[in-house]
Amino acid sequence: MNTDHADPAELAAIRAAFDVDDMGESALGWEGVRAFEAEQGIVLPEPYRTFVAETTDGSYSGPPDYGLLSVAEVPDDWGGEEEERDLSRPFPLTEAWMWEEDSEPAEDTDEILERVYNHGSIVLGTDGCAMNWHLVVTGPHRGHVWMISDVGAVPFGARFGFTTAEAGFAGWVAHWAANKPWFDVA
């Protein structure tokens, strides 16, 4: 997973997974990407960065179930205030956390949850029922995709368990395009 340089083969596979008419018509463009990044104080990880600049900034087709959101969008069922989101602050997790299973929650659980939802990640889209896919844009997990739901947060990729897929945006899209269940490890 290279978050600094887009691999042409990965980009081609990602583009093929989305049914986007007139490729590039709804793309954000490089000027738009740079403006978003400057406003947020981040640099989007590759290959997602090139994808939204050159192909499309959101799509009704492709992953997840309800489509890929625009880089600046959150799902309709988003519980928090969009103004509270700070993408420049690091995403706080590096391993799965099921807060619903914590028998003795830490005193600062609410504060950590606030950071999980609002710091260092963009929302790729939703599979409904408050199951949102995030792409981490700052912090140690930059470039990784996470499933964040109302009960916990899980990183996506074979090295974390739960799935046989490669980590990152390209691996996430390829896994979906192969019509595999998100979590295919027994």
Q: Is residue 185 part of a domain?
A: no
Quote the CA–CA distance of 17 and 137 in Å, as a whole number. 22
**Top-confidence residue, 152 or 25:** 152
Three-class SS state of 168: helix
pLDDT band at 158 (very low <50, low <70, confident <90, very high): very high
Residue burial 106-123, b: 16+ Cβ < 10 Å; e: rest = eeeeeebbebbbbbbbbb
Q: Which residues contact 183 (CB under 8 A, 6 or more apart)?
A: 162, 163
Which pTM was predicted? 0.91
Q: Is residue 94 part of a domain?
A: yes
Q: Given this model, what pLDDT does residue 60 score?
A: 84
Alpha helix segments (H runs only) across 46-126: 48-54, 109-118
The CATH number assigned to the domain holding 94 equals 3.40.1580
pLDDT in tens, 5-64: 999 999 999 998 987 654 445 899 999 999 999 999 999 999 999 999 999 999 888 788
Q: Is residue 39 part of a domain?
A: yes
Query: Is 140 in contact with 90 (CB distance < 8 Å)?
Result: yes
Range(s) of the domain holding residue 47: 8-72+82-177
pLDDT in tens, 69-101: 999 998 877 765 555 889 999 999 999 988 777
**Top-confidence residue, 156 or 100:** 156
Number of structural domains (the chain) is: 1
Q: Is residue 1 part of a domain?
A: no
Q: Given this model, what pLDDT does residue 66 score?
A: 86
**Top-confidence residue, 40 or 109:** 40
Quote the CA–CA distance of 27 and 65 in Å, as a whole number. 21
- φ and ψ of 16, to 5 deg: -65, -25
**And the tokens for 154?**
């899980």
Q: Given this model, what pLDDT does residue 25 score?
A: 57
Q: Given this model, what pLDDT does residue 22 score?
A: 45
Q: Is residue 182 part of a domain?
A: no
Amino acid, single-letter form, for residue 114: E
Query: Is 45 in contact with 169 (CB distance < 8 Å)?
Result: yes
Q: Is residue 126 part of a domain?
A: yes
Q: Given this model, what pLDDT does residue 157 score?
A: 94
**And the tokens for 179?**
């019509």
Q: Given this model, what pLDDT does residue 128 score?
A: 84
Which run of H or E residues covers position 171? helix 168-177
pLDDT band at 162 (very low <50, low <70, confident <90, very high): confident
